[in-house]
């Protein structure tokens, strides 16, 4: 995962935030994914414009944890979201910045 | 001449069930006796025994909804409806002319349109307010209904939740579980006291659930296929509204009538 990759959420994914947590539904599988507050924040930051570096930067300000831990967890989590087809992994277009 | 077409009322939704042969009408009047109604129907259901039997693997139930029209399937029957015209065509395959599984699916879909939800749950009314007990098969829904004593049982398998005059109500349904017809003898509703997600144990225990935990527990227990994005969006919104308004617990219970005093202490 590099700084040129961004992660738009799939528009067809129903989701809802409750307090600081979130619930996503994989409609194809009929499954519901509950997310804790960190997962919900990463989901929120998967806006199709931010790279993993930018997402980690925001999380490091908002949550108390070593940045290396946050990075590893964020990458693993985004890969799991992509594996469940809840987000896409796309290349940022040339010249595009957030 | 009086209209002898059966009308069935579930959670305030009144269905006029037309197109049944005499034997089918007698069956419906017996099966749904406590739920027969004289109120004006909100939906007309026309039953036709015309669906051709198709051998092969049984398809999963489905619910799709586009531009005010919907299609529901519960093998071997299907229903096609029009929300604006309030009409539903039932096509029954082999089996009862009025397939109860498909009727339950129809009630669930239309209840969702009214901001409610049909839940895999039992419910017991204690001092005028309903405790709803949800969980997968074998979790103890019927066992708890059997502990009700003199308290009214709304059902041991399927409960409708819908917005009432002052908060959420739990409503009886005719879709009983292993407890049989005795678990669907009354067509009543009561204000919702609390939602309990069951876990069998040899003693009592509980844990208060956050709203998101309650939605996550309730979602799989909603009696509606969840493979349509619009259906799922609506369900999430409804369950979130219930979870915000009604306390929910994970409940471990022993099959003992002390349950009711234990519930009093949940706060």
- CATH assignment of the domain containing A29: 3.90.930.60
Q: What are phi and psi of B230, to 5 degrees?
A: -70, -40
Q: Tell me which residues of chain B have a pLDDT lower than 50.
A: none
- Show the tokens assigned to B244: 């915000």
A·B CB contacts under 8 A: 50
Cβ atoms B96, B27 nearer than 8 A: yes
pLDDT score of A97 = 60
Q: Which residue of A12, A13, A15, A32 is the best one to mutate when testing the B interface, meaning the one whose CB has the most B CBs within 10 A?
A: A32
Are B105 and B131 found together in one domain?
Answer: no
Are B161 and B257 found together in one domain?
Answer: yes
Whole-number Å distance between alpha carbons of A32 and A35: 10
Question: Which domain range does residue B98 map to?
Answer: 7-113
For residue A80, give the H/E element and its range.
helix A67-83
pLDDT score of B22 = 87
pLDDT score of B17 = 94
Condensed to tens digits (0 to 9), the pLDDT of residues B64-107 reads 888 889 999 887 788 999 999 999 998 877 667 788 888 999 99
Within a domain: residue B211? yes
Within a domain: residue B1? no
Are B32 and B103 found together in one domain?
Answer: yes
- Show the tokens assigned to A74: 């964020």
For residue B266, give the H/E element and its range.
none
The DSSP code for A8 is B
Give B228's contacts in chain A (Cβ within 8 Å). Answer: 27
The DSSP code for B54 is -
Are B102 and B205 found together in one domain?
Answer: no
Are B134 and B242 found together in one domain?
Answer: yes
pLDDT tens by residue, chain A, 98 residues: 788 899 999 888 899 988 788 999 988 888 888 899 999 999 999 999 999 999 999 999 999 999 999 999 999 999 999 998 899 999 887 666 66
> In chain B, how many domains are there?
2
Within a domain: residue A95? no
For residue B13, give the H/E element and its range.
strand B13-18
Picking from B43, B111, B52, the residue whose alpha carbon sits closest to that of residue B80 is B43
Q: How far is B189 from chain A (nearest CA, A)?
A: 28
- Show the tokens assigned to A49: 């414009």
pLDDT score of A2 = 80
Give B215's contacts in chain A (Cβ within 8 Å). Answer: 16, 18, 23, 32, 34
- Cβ B229–A14 below 8 Å, yes or no? yes
A24: nearest CA in chain B?
A: B236
Please enumerate in sequence order all residues whose Cβ is within 8 A of that of B140, keeping only pairs 6 or more positions apart, or say none: B133, B198, B200, B253, B255
State whether residue A61 sits within 8 Å of chain B by CB: no
Across A86-98, b (16+ Cβ under 10 Å) vs e yields bbeeeebeeeeee
Please enumerate in sequence order all residues whose Cβ is within 8 A of that of B26, keeping only pairs 6 or more positions apart, or say none: none
Are B123 and B190 found together in one domain?
Answer: yes
Strand, helix or coil at B119? strand
> In chain A, how many domains are there?
1
For residue B68, give the H/E element and its range.
none
Alpha helices in B164-218 (DSSP H): 211-218
pLDDT score of B52 = 57
Q: Model ipTM?
A: 0.71
Are B144 and B244 found together in one domain?
Answer: yes
Are B107 and B122 found together in one domain?
Answer: no
Q: Which of B48, B79, B113 finishes a domain?
A: B113
Are B104 and B230 found together in one domain?
Answer: no
Q: What is the CATH number of the domain that holds B169?
A: 3.40.50
Please enumerate in sequence order all residues whose Cβ is within 8 A of that of A80, keeping only pairs 6 or more positions apart, or say none: none
Within a domain: residue A81? yes
- Show the tokens assigned to B222: 């909603």
A22: nearest CA in chain B?
A: B212
pLDDT score of B87 = 94
State whether residue A28 sits within 8 Å of chain B by CB: yes
Are B168 and B151 found together in one domain?
Answer: yes
Within a domain: residue A98? no
Question: Which domain range does residue A44 map to?
Answer: 5-88
Give A30's contacts in chain B (Cβ within 8 Å). Answer: 225-227
Are B127 and B235 found together in one domain?
Answer: yes
pLDDT score of B53 = 53
Within a domain: residue A28? yes
Are B178 and B93 found together in one domain?
Answer: no
Within a domain: residue B198? yes
pLDDT score of A43 = 94
Within a domain: residue B2? no
Whole-number Å distance between alpha carbons of A41 and B108: 33
Q: Which residue of B236, B238, B239, B241 is the best one to mutate when testing the A interface, meaning the one whose CB has the most A CBs within 10 A?
A: B236
Q: How far is A2 from chain B (nearest CA, A)?
A: 31
- Cβ A25–B210 below 8 Å, yes or no? no
């Amino acid at each position: 995962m590099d700084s040129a990759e961004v992660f738009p959420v799939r528009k067809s994914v129903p989701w809802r935030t409750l307090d600081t947590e979130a619930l996503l539904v994989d409609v194809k599988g009929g499954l519901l994914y509950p997310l804790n507050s960190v997962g919900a924040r990463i989901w929120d930051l998967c806006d199709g414009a931010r790279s993993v570096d930018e997402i980690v930067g925001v999380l490091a300000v908002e949550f108390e944890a070593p940045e290396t831990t946050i990075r590893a967890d964020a990458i693993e989590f985004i890969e799991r979201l992509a594996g469940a087809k809840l987000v896409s992994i796309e290349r940022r277009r040339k010249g595009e910045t957030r | 001449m009086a209209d002898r077409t059966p009308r069935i009322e579930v959670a305030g939704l009144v269905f006029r069930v037309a197109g049944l042969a005499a034997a089918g009408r007698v069956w419906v009047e017996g099966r749904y006796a406590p739920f027969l109604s004289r109120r004006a129907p909100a939906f007309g259901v026309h039953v036709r025994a015309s669906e051709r039997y198709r051998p092969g693997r049984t398809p999963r139930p489905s619910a799709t909804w586009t531009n005010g029209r919907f299609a529901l399937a519960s093998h071997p029957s299907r229903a096609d409806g029009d929300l604006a015209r309030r009409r539903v065509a039932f096509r029954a395959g082999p089996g009862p002319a009025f397939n109860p599984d498909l009727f339950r699916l129809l009630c669930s879909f239309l209840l969702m349109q009214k901001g409610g939800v049909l839940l895999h749950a039992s419910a017991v009314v204690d001092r005028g307010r309903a405790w709803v007990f949800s969980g997968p098969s074998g979790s103890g829904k019927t066992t708890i209904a059997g502990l009700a004593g003199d308290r009214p049982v709304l059902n041991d398998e399927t409960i409708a939740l819908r917005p009432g005059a002052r908060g959420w109500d739990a409503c009886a349904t005719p879709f009983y579980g292993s407890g049989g017809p005795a678990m669907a003898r009354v067509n009543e509703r009561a204000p919702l006291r609390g939602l309990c997600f069951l876990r069998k144990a040899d003693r009592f225990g509980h844990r208060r659930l956050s709203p998101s935990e309650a939605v996550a527990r309730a979602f799989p227990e909603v009696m509606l296929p969840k493979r349509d994005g619009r259906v799922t969006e609506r369900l999430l919104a409804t369950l979130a509204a219930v979870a915000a308004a009604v306390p929910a617990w994970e409940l471990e219970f022993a099959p003992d009538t002390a349950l009711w005093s234990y519930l009093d202490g949940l706060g």
